[in-house]
Protein backbone atom coordinates (compact mmCIF):
# COMPACT_ATOMS: atom_id res chain seq x y z
CA UNK A 1 0.00 0.00 0.00
CA UNK A 2 1.29 3.39 -0.96
CA UNK A 3 0.09 5.25 2.09
CA UNK A 4 0.42 2.62 4.78
CA UNK A 5 3.21 4.49 6.54
CA UNK A 6 1.35 7.72 6.16
CA UNK A 7 -1.82 6.36 7.74
CA UNK A 8 0.04 4.79 10.62
CA UNK A 9 1.89 8.01 11.32
CA UNK A 10 -1.28 10.03 11.22
CA UNK A 11 -2.94 7.65 13.62
CA UNK A 12 0.02 7.76 16.01
CA UNK A 13 0.13 11.54 15.92
CA UNK A 14 -3.55 11.92 16.72
CA UNK A 15 -3.28 9.35 19.50
CA UNK A 16 -0.29 11.19 20.92
CA UNK A 17 -2.18 14.44 20.70
CA UNK A 18 -5.06 12.85 22.56
CA UNK A 19 -2.84 11.37 25.28
CA UNK A 20 -1.10 14.66 25.97
CA UNK A 21 -4.42 16.50 25.96
CA UNK A 22 -5.74 14.15 28.61
CA UNK A 23 -2.68 14.86 30.74
CA UNK A 24 -2.19 18.58 30.21
CA UNK A 25 -5.30 19.85 28.50
CA UNK A 26 -6.00 20.53 24.86
CA UNK A 27 -4.88 24.15 25.08
CA UNK A 28 -1.52 23.21 26.56
CA UNK A 29 -0.64 20.61 23.95
CA UNK A 30 1.56 22.06 21.22
CA UNK A 31 2.86 20.57 18.03
CA UNK A 32 6.37 20.59 19.47
CA UNK A 33 5.21 18.62 22.50
CA UNK A 34 3.46 16.05 20.33
CA UNK A 35 6.64 15.64 18.32
CA UNK A 36 8.77 15.20 21.41
CA UNK A 37 6.26 12.72 22.85
CA UNK A 38 6.54 10.59 19.70
CA UNK A 39 10.25 11.14 19.08
CA UNK A 40 9.92 13.12 15.89
CA UNK A 41 10.58 16.72 14.86
CA UNK A 42 7.61 19.08 14.83
CA UNK A 43 8.08 19.50 11.10
CA UNK A 44 7.10 15.87 10.58
CA UNK A 45 3.91 16.41 12.52
CA UNK A 46 3.15 19.33 10.24
CA UNK A 47 3.98 17.26 7.19
CA UNK A 48 0.94 15.13 7.94
CA UNK A 49 -1.25 17.85 9.43
CA UNK A 50 -0.35 21.12 7.70
CA UNK A 51 -1.92 23.38 10.33
CA UNK A 52 -2.85 23.16 13.95
CA UNK A 53 -6.48 23.67 13.04
CA UNK A 54 -6.45 20.56 10.86
CA UNK A 55 -4.77 18.68 13.68
CA UNK A 56 -7.51 19.65 16.12
CA UNK A 57 -10.17 18.81 13.58
CA UNK A 58 -8.74 15.31 13.25
CA UNK A 59 -8.48 14.93 16.99
CA UNK A 60 -12.17 15.65 17.21
CA UNK A 61 -12.99 13.07 14.57
CA UNK A 62 -10.92 10.61 16.59
CA UNK A 63 -12.80 11.45 19.78
CA UNK A 64 -16.21 11.23 18.18
CA UNK A 65 -15.20 7.91 16.71
CA UNK A 66 -14.16 6.61 20.09
CA UNK A 67 -17.39 7.87 21.56
CA UNK A 68 -19.49 6.03 19.02
CA UNK A 69 -17.45 2.90 19.59
CA UNK A 70 -18.52 2.80 23.20
CA UNK A 71 -22.11 2.23 22.20
CA UNK A 72 -21.26 -0.18 19.40
CA UNK A 73 -21.08 -3.46 21.37
CA UNK A 74 -24.42 -2.79 23.01
CA UNK A 75 -26.05 -1.89 19.71
CA UNK A 76 -24.53 -4.92 17.98
CA UNK A 77 -25.60 -7.27 20.73
CA UNK A 78 -29.15 -6.09 20.54
CA UNK A 79 -29.12 -6.41 16.78
CA UNK A 80 -27.77 -9.95 16.63
CA UNK A 81 -30.06 -11.19 19.35
CA UNK A 82 -32.81 -9.42 17.49
CA UNK A 83 -34.29 -8.74 20.85
CA UNK A 84 -34.63 -5.19 21.96
CA UNK A 85 -34.44 -4.48 25.64
CA UNK A 86 -34.35 -0.72 26.16
CA UNK A 87 -33.48 -1.20 29.80
CA UNK A 88 -30.23 -2.95 28.91
CA UNK A 89 -29.25 -0.06 26.72
CA UNK A 90 -30.11 2.48 29.38
CA UNK A 91 -28.11 0.54 31.93
CA UNK A 92 -25.11 0.57 29.67
CA UNK A 93 -25.48 4.31 29.19
CA UNK A 94 -25.06 4.72 32.92
CA UNK A 95 -22.46 2.02 33.44
CA UNK A 96 -19.20 3.19 34.92
CA UNK A 97 -17.15 1.09 32.51
CA UNK A 98 -17.19 3.33 29.54
CA UNK A 99 -16.61 6.34 31.66
CA UNK A 100 -13.15 4.94 32.28
CA UNK A 101 -12.51 4.40 28.59
CA UNK A 102 -13.12 8.00 27.81
CA UNK A 103 -11.75 11.32 28.95
CA UNK A 104 -14.47 13.86 29.48
CA UNK A 105 -11.98 16.69 29.88
CA UNK A 106 -10.85 16.50 26.28
CA UNK A 107 -14.38 15.87 25.10
CA UNK A 108 -15.73 19.02 26.73
CA UNK A 109 -12.69 21.06 25.65
CA UNK A 110 -13.47 20.16 22.06
CA UNK A 111 -17.17 20.67 22.68
CA UNK A 112 -16.50 24.26 23.70
CA UNK A 113 -15.04 24.86 20.24
CA UNK A 114 -18.45 24.39 18.61
CA UNK A 115 -19.31 27.94 19.62
CA UNK A 116 -16.76 29.44 17.25
CA UNK A 117 -16.33 26.73 14.63
CA UNK A 118 -19.26 25.64 12.53
CA UNK A 119 -17.63 22.52 11.15
CA UNK A 120 -16.91 21.22 14.61
CA UNK A 121 -20.45 22.10 15.61
CA UNK A 122 -21.82 20.09 12.71
CA UNK A 123 -19.65 17.10 13.57
CA UNK A 124 -20.72 17.16 17.18
CA UNK A 125 -24.33 17.50 16.18
CA UNK A 126 -24.00 14.53 13.85
CA UNK A 127 -22.62 12.34 16.61
CA UNK A 128 -25.43 13.17 18.98
CA UNK A 129 -28.06 12.61 16.34
CA UNK A 130 -26.55 9.23 15.49
CA UNK A 131 -26.75 8.16 19.10
CA UNK A 132 -30.38 9.26 19.30
CA UNK A 133 -31.19 7.29 16.17
CA UNK A 134 -29.55 4.18 17.58
CA UNK A 135 -31.71 4.39 20.65
CA UNK A 136 -34.80 5.04 18.56
CA UNK A 137 -34.11 1.84 16.60
CA UNK A 138 -33.93 -0.12 19.79
CA UNK A 139 -37.09 1.44 21.16
CA UNK A 140 -38.90 0.68 17.91
CA UNK A 141 -38.34 -3.05 18.40
CA UNK A 142 -40.09 -3.00 21.75
CA UNK A 143 -43.69 -4.05 21.17
CA UNK A 144 -44.81 -2.19 24.26
CA UNK A 145 -43.79 1.01 22.54
CA UNK A 146 -45.55 0.30 19.27
CA UNK A 147 -47.02 3.35 17.65
CA UNK A 148 -45.36 5.67 20.13
CA UNK A 149 -43.20 8.69 19.37
CA UNK A 150 -39.96 6.85 19.96
CA UNK A 151 -37.95 9.64 18.41
CA UNK A 152 -39.12 12.01 21.09
CA UNK A 153 -38.60 9.42 23.79
CA UNK A 154 -35.04 8.78 22.63
CA UNK A 155 -34.42 12.51 22.67
CA UNK A 156 -35.78 12.86 26.18
CA UNK A 157 -33.70 9.96 27.43
CA UNK A 158 -30.51 11.41 26.03
CA UNK A 159 -31.23 14.81 27.47
CA UNK A 160 -31.26 13.15 30.89
CA UNK A 161 -28.12 11.16 30.15
CA UNK A 162 -26.19 14.19 28.93
CA UNK A 163 -27.41 16.44 31.72
CA UNK A 164 -26.50 13.70 34.16
CA UNK A 165 -22.90 13.37 33.03
CA UNK A 166 -22.52 17.11 32.86
CA UNK A 167 -23.32 17.35 36.53
CA UNK A 168 -21.60 14.12 37.57
CA UNK A 169 -18.28 15.44 36.29
CA UNK A 170 -18.28 17.80 39.26
CA UNK A 171 -18.76 15.02 41.82
CA UNK A 172 -15.70 13.46 43.43
CA UNK A 173 -17.34 11.55 46.26
CA UNK A 174 -17.98 8.01 45.01
CA UNK A 175 -20.94 7.39 47.27
CA UNK A 176 -22.75 10.53 46.16
CA UNK A 177 -21.84 9.74 42.58
CA UNK A 178 -23.38 6.29 42.77
CA UNK A 179 -26.49 7.53 44.51
CA UNK A 180 -27.03 10.21 41.89
CA UNK A 181 -26.49 7.89 38.98
CA UNK A 182 -29.17 5.60 40.38
CA UNK A 183 -31.55 8.54 40.61
CA UNK A 184 -30.89 9.49 37.00
CA UNK A 185 -31.32 5.92 35.88
CA UNK A 186 -34.73 5.64 37.51
CA UNK A 187 -35.61 8.98 35.95
CA UNK A 188 -35.07 7.36 32.57
CA UNK A 189 -36.98 4.23 33.58
CA UNK A 190 -39.90 6.48 34.52
CA UNK A 191 -39.79 7.96 31.06
CA UNK A 192 -39.91 4.51 29.51
CA UNK A 193 -42.74 3.44 31.77
CA UNK A 194 -44.71 6.57 31.05
CA UNK A 195 -44.62 5.86 27.34
CA UNK A 196 -45.50 2.21 27.77
CA UNK A 197 -48.48 2.93 29.97
CA UNK A 198 -49.89 5.72 27.87
CA UNK A 199 -51.86 3.56 25.44
CA UNK A 200 -53.91 1.85 28.10
Partner DNA sequence: TATAATATTGAATGAACGTTCAATTTATGA
Partner DNA sequence: TCATAAATTGAACGTTCATTCAATATTATA
Q: Is 86 exposed, middle or buried (0-12, 13-18, 19+ CB in 10 A)?
A: buried
- In the list DNA, its own copies, none, the entry touching 183 (Cβ below 5 to 8 angstroms by class) is its own copies
Residue 35 burial (CB count, 10 A): 18
Q: Does 113 bind DNA (CB under 7 A)?
A: no
Q: Is 28 exposed, middle or buried (0-12, 13-18, 19+ CB in 10 A)?
A: exposed
Q: Does 42 bind DNA (CB under 7 A)?
A: yes
CA–CA dist 24, 28 (Å, integer): 6
With vertex at residue 6, the alpha carbon angle to CA 65 and CA 48, rounded to the nearest 5 degrees, is 80
- In the list DNA, its own copies, none, the entry touching 92 (Cβ below 5 to 8 angstroms by class) is none
Binding letters toward its own copies, positions 1-40, x by CB under 8 A: -----------------------xxxx-------------
Residues of the shown chain interacting with its own copies in the complex, contacts defined by CB under 8 A? 24-27, 103-105, 108-109, 111-116, 121, 124-125, 128, 152, 155-156, 158-164, 166-167, 169-172, 180, 183-184, 187, 190, 194
Amino acid sequence: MTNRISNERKKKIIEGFYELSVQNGLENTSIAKIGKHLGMPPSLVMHYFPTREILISNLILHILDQYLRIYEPVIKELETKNYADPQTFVDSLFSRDWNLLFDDGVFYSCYSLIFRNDRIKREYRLLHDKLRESLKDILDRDEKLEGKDTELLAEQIFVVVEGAYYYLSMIDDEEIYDRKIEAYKSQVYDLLRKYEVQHL
